[in-house]
């Protein structure tokens, strides 16, 4: 069996989609295999600029592309849950920009789809490693310094 890098497609060509696509193409050459956006010109322009071989106008086209193993979802938030569910049931691993859904019911639906499909989902958060957020997480996490968390939960 020949080795090939994981193929990643980016859904959405706005600010965050472009950011993720550029990051992939710069840090992991050959990994960005497709870009999808309903605006054909935007999808084609970003794919061409970054060397992605394919541009699609419908994310469902990604599910049939054998080069795609995972997707980055950076579409408008109202579409996140449906895209995560569709990607999961297509067998694609998912990195979804925050929020993963706009309701708790949709969030549960995305988690259920990932579990049922055996794919790995991840929700992106640009603040995850920021010092203030790490301090807050430390504060709320019980440990030897505070058995119930230092914020008195």
Percent above pLDDT 70 for the chain: 88
Predicted confidence at residue 153, as pLDDT, reads: 46
Instruction: Select from 47, 25, 27 the least CA-distant residue to 36.
Output: 47
The residue with tokens 């639906």 is: 109
CATH of the domain spanning 8-128, picked from 3.40.50.300, 3.40.640.10, 3.40.190.150, 3.40.50.720:
3.40.50.720
Tens digits of residue pLDDT in 58-93 = 999 999 999 999 999 999 999 999 999 999 999 999
Predicted confidence at residue 26, as pLDDT, reads: 94
Q: What is the pTM of this model?
A: 0.83
- Map out the domains of the chain as residue ranges: 8-128
Q: Residue 85, exposed/middle/buried by CB under 10 A (0-12, 13-18, 19+)? A: buried
What is the mean predicted confidence (pLDDT) over 39-55? 98
DSSP structure string for 44-74:
HHHHHHHT-SEEESSTHHHHT-TT-SEEEE-
């Amino acid at each position: 069996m020949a080795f090939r890098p994981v193929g990643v497609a980016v859904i959405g060509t706005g600010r965050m989609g472009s950011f993720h696509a550029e990051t992939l193409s710069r840090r992991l050459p050959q990994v960005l295999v497709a870009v999808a956006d309903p605006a054909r010109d935007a999808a084609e322009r970003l794919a061409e600029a970054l060397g992605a071989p394919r541009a699609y106008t419908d994310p469902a086209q990604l599910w049939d592309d054998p080069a795609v193993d995972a997707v980055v979802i950076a579409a408008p938030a109202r579409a996140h849950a449906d895209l995560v569910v569709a990607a999961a049931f297509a067998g694609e691993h998912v990195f979804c920009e925050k929020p993963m859904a706009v309701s708790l019911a949709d969030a549960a639906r995305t988690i259920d789809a990932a579990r049922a499909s055996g794919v790995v989902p991840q929700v992106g958060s640009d603040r995850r490693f920021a010092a203030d957020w790490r301090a807050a997480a430390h504060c709320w996490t019980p440990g030897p310094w505070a058995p119930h968390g230092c914020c008195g939960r």
